[in-house]
Amino acid sequence: MEASRRDFINIALGGMGALGALGAIYPILKTLAPSAASTTEAKVEIDIDSVPELNVRVTSWKGKPLFVLKLPPDLSQRYDYKVRKDLKNSAGKLNQELLGDKPVFALIGVCTHLGCIPLWKPEGSDAVKAPYLHCPCHGGLYTPWGDNIGGPPPRPLFVPPQKIEGNKLIVGEPGFVEQLV
């Protein structure tokens, strides 16, 4: 009797102590949790008509720069980008396969080399006689769909989950791109 009563109180104290520690830590951790307002960052809606053709609209998604591009439908036929076909996105494909036929789409505007923000060159340049994306930091070159043409970047630009609903492009929800690739 004596032993089991004493053990009970040991266990009770130990258990209560652990409960207390958890109860104290829980609110402290919760104050660190992302606020409700930051959940609005997870979804961005862009009006398709508001983006002029052959133009990039820069906005932000989950804290990163977002490029929304509207390209003329025959762009891929008009120009021959010397795409680095060996560099694929996370789904093991080229971005163009995913985005080539879409009237409007979004890319994460962060160079996959060291994180600078690429510049949109719709007129092309001496080096690339076509619209392309050029990263000024170390010379990374991308097609308008984000595939690699040249320079140090190891993979195409990231493509966020997105879908087209009516005349809105919704970034952050799965659609023609289901997850980040």
Q: List interacting residues with another protein (CB under 8 A).
A: 6, 9-10, 12-13, 16-17, 19-20, 23, 27-28, 30-31, 33, 35-37, 39-40
Is residue 67 packed enough to be buried (19+ CB in 10 Å), middle (13-18) or exposed (0-12)? buried
DSSP H stretches of helix in 33-56: none
Which CB, 23 or 73, lies closer to another protein? 23
62 CB-near residues (< 8 Å, 6+ apart) = 41, 42, 172
Which CB, 41 or 181, lies closer to another protein? 41
- Tell me which residue has tokens 């820069």: 58
Which CB, 12 or 58, lies closer to another protein? 12
Which CB, 37 or 80, lies closer to another protein? 37
Which CB, 39 or 77, lies closer to another protein? 39
Which CB, 35 or 77, lies closer to another protein? 35
- Rounded to a whole number of angstroms, the minimum distance from the CB of residue 174 to another protein is 17
- Rounded to a whole number of angstroms, the minimum distance from the CB of residue 10 to another protein is 8
- Rounded to a whole number of angstroms, the minimum distance from the CB of residue 46 to another protein is 14
| Token duo for residue 173 | 């929800």
- 3-class state of residue 125 by DSSP: coil
CA angle 136/66/109 to nearest 5° reads: 25
| Token duo for residue 120 | 């949109």
| Alpha carbon distance 117, 127 (integer Å) | 19
| Alpha carbon distance 23, 146 (integer Å) | 48
- Rounded to a whole number of angstroms, the minimum distance from the CB of residue 169 to another protein is 19
- Rounded to a whole number of angstroms, the minimum distance from the CB of residue 130 to another protein is 35
Residue 140's Cβ-side half-sphere holds a number of Cα atoms within 13 Å equal to 25
- Rounded to a whole number of angstroms, the minimum distance from the CB of residue 27 to another protein is 4
